[in-house]
Structure 1
Amino acid sequence: MALRIHKILNNNAVVVLDEGQEKIVMGPGIAFQKRKNDIVPRAKIEKIFVMEDENEKFQELLRTLPEEHIQIAEEIISYAEGELQAPLNNHIHIALTDHLSFAIERIQQGYQIQNKLLNEIKVLYKKEYQIGLWAKQLIRERLGIEIPDDEVGHIALHIHTAKMDAASMNKTLQQTSLIREMIEIIEKELNMNIDEESFSYQRLLTHLRFALNRIENGEPFHAMDEDMFRLIQTKYEKEFACALKMSQYAKDEYGIDFPDAELAYITLHIQRLTSKV
């Protein structure tokens, strides 16, 4: 059955009615010189969306944002799905498109984009960050605009939270912020500057992320022999005190409770960091 145009959103996007359901159809030049009730050329269809609750919002974005921004966002999403070998949540078409267009406009107006979680994002979401670097190159080629690495980090977060098994953006930001704050506690308590390119730092971040995920999901932690726990607590007294402070901060500020055995594992990671300094 032929799809007929119900509403034109822009040159590359139209709304069709398919068995009474509104669907958004996208493709290059799909609405060029077309009118309502014209047949949608099948050869030009690249994507068909059923947005359900967010249908109106997506249509509004397609009507109002620059078409080149929309096209770039869609190319980034398609590339991300190919690299991750998995479909992303439909909400990414709204969230990333809206965010990216606003970011490009701010950069063009001379605003500085900052991302205080950039170093953590690079380590925790490596694949997504690489996709963000690809997006940076695409934007440079298409628009002649150089987006900063801070913005690459924002793109990476949007892609990560659009993965079907990922937490929401708020939870992802909360977890990443907590990790950043715990790192700052280590630097303050032990009076050191952590080398954020070091393998020890990256291992600590990865460990904290998985520990927080286990707490979030109610999964069991690895047990530790009592004698081993006491040995770590005694041998690495300063590092254990630092781990204890990190744990108390997580409990006070975020309501997250680390088990005792986990404090010993974190202590060992901190010790690796201090031994490199």
Structure 2
Amino acid sequence: MQIIKKVLNSSVVLVEDERGMERVLLGKGIGFGANRGDLVREGSTDRVFVALDDIDQRNFVELLASIPGEFVELSRTIVAEAAAAGLDLDPHVYLALTDHLHFVVERHRRGMHVVNRLAWELKTVYPVEYGIGLRAVHRMRERLVPGLREEEAANIAFHLANAAIGRTRGNALQVAELVSAVTTIVSNSSGIALAGEELHVRRFLTHLQFFAERLFAGSSLPSDGEDFLYRNLTQSHPRAIATAERVRAFVRVEHGIEISNEEVSYLAVHIARATSSP
């Protein structure tokens, strides 16, 4: 049994069960005409409960009271698309995403345009999430802000990637930033701009994504003790190894993490492929 404690907007109510546990209930029109003390009747299966685990989430709930229900519905549409695409997301993404979408519209109406310097990396590293974000941008253009910039899709992709459950992705922003930094190191070392949709570039960036995810998850590849591949590449691809060593030094200085010769070797293999003719 759920009892309404507070109506936040037409699509969000704060409820309490018989054990005194509070949760947020999201559902289209769930708060319309509802009052404190009302029982929540069984409704459609698309209703979503979000547990309140800490003080930050409770503060978020209060914030939702000032956000129109249409933003909650837009978030629900985005998360439903993500689920259909096979993404398993923490339910708290509803709160963070709703707040973000509302802020985007308010910011745009005030003429504040913020450039996402990692838009390309997020688009490349998280293509599924970016595609969902792009469709969300098109909906927002139709309903709320006609001039909304396409790069906003990258910000939505970030929220979806960061809410992923059961993946060793670590923080999506950390992953995107490291991919960007390593790409810059390789481009500067080789004199070749690694940007675009070419197959060799996409393969390289895919490797960087998994490299970064392993790094921040603490599951980097260990050395095999023999370092056969590393020694072989030092002879056959010295420039690629030298560039991979620059990446190792960068990771050591910026993140305090020492990566193995095995990781350096696989980086060198992909660097050699990406900086040669496709």
- Indicate the TM-score class for this superposition, using the shorter chain for normalisation: 0.7 to 0.9
**Contact 1:24-1:48 at 8 Å conserved across structures:** yes
DSSP 3-state at the match of 1:84: coil
- Aligned partner of 2:26 in structure 1 is 26
- Aligned partner of 2:6 in structure 1 is 7
DSSP 3-state at the match of 1:149: coil
Task: With the length of structure 1 as denominator, give the TM-score of the two structures.
Answer: 0.86
| 1:187 correspondence with 2:153 | no
**Which structure 2 residue ranges, 5 or more long, are not aligned?**
none
Residues 41, 266 of structure 1: CA spacing in aligned structure 2 closer, same or farther, 3 A cutoff?
Answer: same
- Aligned partner of 1:17 in structure 2 is 16
Q: How many residues of Structure 1 are paired with residues of Structure 2 in the alignment?
A: 274
- In structure 1, C-alpha distance between the alignment counterparts of 2:161 and 2:245, rounded to whole Å: 30
Matched AA of 1:253: E
- In structure 2, C-alpha distance between the alignment counterparts of 1:14 and 1:253, rounded to whole Å: 44
Report the CA distance between 1:159 and its aligned residue: 0.6
Residues 138, 224 of structure 1: CA spacing in aligned structure 2 closer, same or farther, 3 A cutoff?
Answer: farther
How big is each residue's C-alpha offset from its partner over 1:135-164, in whole Å with a ceiling of 9 and x where there is no partner?
Answer: 122222332434323211111111111111
Q: Greater share of helix residues, 1 or 2?
A: 1
- Aligned partner of 1:83 in structure 2 is 85
Task: With the length of structure 2 as denominator, give the TM-score of the two structures.
Answer: 0.86
DSSP 3-state at the match of 2:161: helix
Residues 191, 224 of structure 1: CA spacing in aligned structure 2 closer, same or farther, 3 A cutoff?
Answer: farther
Report the CA distance between 1:48 and its aligned residue: 2.8
Identity of aligned residues (%): 30
- In structure 2, C-alpha distance between the alignment counterparts of 1:55 and 1:261, rounded to whole Å: 41
Matched AA of 1:131: I
- Aligned partner of 2:73 in structure 1 is 71
**Contact 1:185-1:242 at 8 Å conserved across structures:** yes
Report the CA distance between 1:239 and its aligned residue: 2.3
- Aligned partner of 2:130 in structure 1 is 129
DSSP 3-state at the match of 2:276: helix
- In structure 1, C-alpha distance between the alignment counterparts of 2:201 and 2:16, rounded to whole Å: 53
- Aligned partner of 1:141 in structure 2 is 142
**Superposition RMSD on alpha carbons, in Å?**
2.6
DSSP 3-state at the match of 2:43: helix
**Which structure 1 residue ranges, 5 or more long, are not aligned?**
none
